[in-house]
Amino acid sequence: MAATEVSTTPFDGQKPGTSGLRKKVRVFQQPHYLENFVQAIFDTQPGFRGGTLVLGGDGRFYNREAIQTILRMAAANGVVKVLVGRGGILSTPAASCVIRKYQAQGGIILSASHNPGGPDQDFGIKLNTDAGGPAPAGVTDAVFARSRRIDRYRITDTGSVDLDALGNTALDDMSVEVMDPVADYAALMERLFDFNAIHQLFNSGGFRMRFDAMHAVTGPYATEILENRLGAEPGTVMNGMPLPDFGGGHPDPNLLHARDLVALTQGLTGLDFGAASDGDGDRNMILGKDFFVTPSDSLAVLAANAHLAPGYKAGIAGVARSMPTSQAADRVADELGVECYETPTGWKFFGNLLDARKITLCGEESFGTGSDHVREKDGLWAVLFWLNLLAVRRQSVGDIVREHWQRFGRNYYTRHDYEAVDAGAAEALMDHLRMLLGDLPDKRLGGLSVAYADDFSYTDPVDGSVAEGQGIRIGFDGGSRIVFRLSGTGTRGATLRVYIECYEPDPARHGQPVQEALAPLILSARELAQIEARTGRAEPDVIT
């Protein structure tokens, strides 16, 4: 059967963001839209010709159709082999794992992460490189540039591949291997964590947990690992069946969207442990009985306890956190005598540090935590890490975190989001702050003295590349901080994110409500940025 060359014309507005190309399903369903973008990948990434491609997605609406199209295009573009997850399923971290394990030339992951799915919702496509991580800016820029000039794409006129039967099929000269999406990932987890200890914890009686897969991709992973391999009781995994519309929910593991899970951890009958992951399986939320672990604290706790997990028993080489993430991990790194790197927002900035073995663990405040085991953040990995700690330390989640604060001090932390703000007003607000920067040092704000104020710029210590304008940082004597930045992932207007943090060394003052502890700084941030006057918003839409 022959490959056909189809004439096409480019679409505007296909610029992929930090997490690939995300659009409404109906946009992707336009004739040639997906094809243009995929052909731009093959045209700019010559390694796929004669190579191996990993392909899968989070199971959302349009996943299977997109996979059939990409398979036929891969065959027409000279790919030798495609590894595709059964049912079209591969979580983002599992795709990273498979790319690395089988030394594929890269992968295409179909997901819009934590955005809702369904015919009127979002779809997305992202490219990962042979290291297993998201394509760096240079690569996505090249794909974008090509997609603006494209005038033809290549596709075979072969039929569709049965995605539900494991095994090999030929598509023209290309071989398609439908693989178990869970097996390689589960094997990696077994190497990193003490499965015996966790198994005993589950069998000890009295330990009660739930994992909320939110009808997204981690269902099959969590069921296999937690219930089948670790012996957690059936039903431990909630909402474990991936659905094209995620059951109508918003597959984002936070206090708002995972509220059923949160409720199960509260009160007299509250569970000992609750955890959730997002649409494509890279985010995580960790809950104890009546206790929410902030992602910033989670990174710090994992760093301080890493030696308790077999995969990290030799210690960690270093840690990295995105700039707006709280500085809790810095204090742990200090005590361990390792470096803590501060990177711009977005997982791709961790890749070089991981590849160069400068860091072992990394994380972001936005429910992302990970390590050098893959090149993506990894939701279920974080959950298993916590279970490993609980199994070894035999303490509650709350006690582990409170002890951590006693030892290192507590970084009170919150993020306030102002969503769908007028884009011009948001830019003007940031300009206004930039103008103030020079005058701030040594001034007093909310009773604290400003130590430094800048627009964050990052020079990659490995390749020397520079990322400028990554957000306004205002640091105070004593470790408090206010950070302002505009979201790079919002879809309507602009989203202003304000991150507020203060450091409290005194354990007697570790029990305050977070918003109260931070109230003076929150007020200073609002006044300084003139948030209400410039955006018309007296209060944020979302407080995390």
Closer by beta carbon to ligand G1P, 69 or else 487: 487
Of 398, 489, 491, 537, the one binding ligand G1P (CB under 6 A) is 489
**Residue owning tokens 């029990």:** 511
CB 5 within 8 A of CB 176: no
CA neighbor of 152 nearest in space, from 7, 3, 40: 7
Query: DSSP for 177-235?
Result: EEE-TTHHHHHHHHHHS-HHHHHHHHHTSS--EEEE-TTSTHHHHHIIIIIIIT-PPTT
Closer by beta carbon to ligand G1P, 224 or else 364: 364
Based on the shown chain and the rule CB under 5 A, indicate whether residue 282 belongs to the binding site for Zn ion: yes
Based on the shown chain and the rule CB under 6 A, indicate whether residue 321 belongs to the binding site for ligand G1P: no
List the interface residues with ligand G1P, window 143-202 (CB under 6 A).
none
CA distance 176 to 442: 63
CB 465 within 8 A of CB 348: no
Q: Residue 425: CB partners within 8 Å, gap ≥ 6?
A: 494, 534, 535
Based on the shown chain and the rule CB under 5 A, indicate whether residue 280 belongs to the binding site for Zn ion: yes
According to the 3-state scheme, what is the secondary structure of 320-375? EEECCCCCHHHHHHHHHCCEEEEECCCHHHHHHHHHCCCCCEEEECCCEEEECCCC
Closer by beta carbon to ligand G1P, 174 or else 328: 328
Total residues at interface with ligand G1P (CB under 6 A): 14
Active site residue 113: yes
Of 274, 288, 346, 379, the one binding ligand G1P (CB under 6 A) is 346
Binding characters for ligand G1P, 64-103, by CB under 6 A (x = yes): ----------------------------------------
Based on the shown chain and the rule CB under 6 A, indicate whether residue 322 belongs to the binding site for ligand G1P: yes
List the interface residues with ligand G1P, window 107-136 (CB under 6 A).
113
CA neighbor of 153 nearest in space, from 6, 2, 1: 6
Closest approach of Cβ 106 to ligand G1P, in Å? 19
Tell me whether strands 106-110 and 81-89 are parallel, antiparallel or unpaired. unpaired
**Residue 366 site contact among ligand G1P, Zn ion, none (CB < 5 to 8 Å, cut-off depends on kind):** ligand G1P
List the interface residues with Zn ion, window 108-137 (CB under 5 A).
113
List the interface residues with ligand G1P, window 491-510 (CB under 6 A).
497
CA neighbor of 240 nearest in space, from 276, 288, 208: 276
**Residue 19 site contact among Zn ion, ligand G1P, none (CB < 5 to 8 Å, cut-off depends on kind):** ligand G1P
Tell me whether strands 472-476 and 52-57 are parallel, antiparallel or unpaired. unpaired
CA neighbor of 46 nearest in space, from 24, 78, 76: 78
Structure tokens that stand for 535 in this block: 């955006």
Closest approach of Cβ 45 to ligand G1P, in Å? 22
Of 58, 278, 365, 460, the one binding Zn ion (CB under 5 A) is 278
List the interface residues with Zn ion, window 140-159 (CB under 5 A).
none
CA distance 544 to 113: 19
Neighbours of 338 (CB within 10 A): 18
Of 19, 45, 96, 352, the one binding ligand G1P (CB under 6 A) is 19
Based on the shown chain and the rule CB under 6 A, indicate whether residue 469 belongs to the binding site for ligand G1P: no
Closest approach of Cβ 347 to ligand G1P, in Å? 5
CA neighbor of 71 nearest in space, from 86, 89, 83: 83
CB 483 within 8 A of CB 498: yes
Residue of 113, 147, 296, 298 marked active site: 113
**Residue 46 site contact among ligand G1P, Zn ion, none (CB < 5 to 8 Å, cut-off depends on kind):** none
**Residue 277 site contact among ligand G1P, Zn ion, none (CB < 5 to 8 Å, cut-off depends on kind):** none
Closer by beta carbon to ligand G1P, 36 or else 345: 345
Of 65, 487, 493, 505, the one binding ligand G1P (CB under 6 A) is 487
**Interacting residues with ligand G1P (CB under 6 A):** 19, 113, 322, 345-347, 364, 366, 368, 487-490, 497
* Residues with a known catalytic role: 113
Q: Which residues bind Zn ion (CB under 5 A)?
A: 113, 278, 280, 282
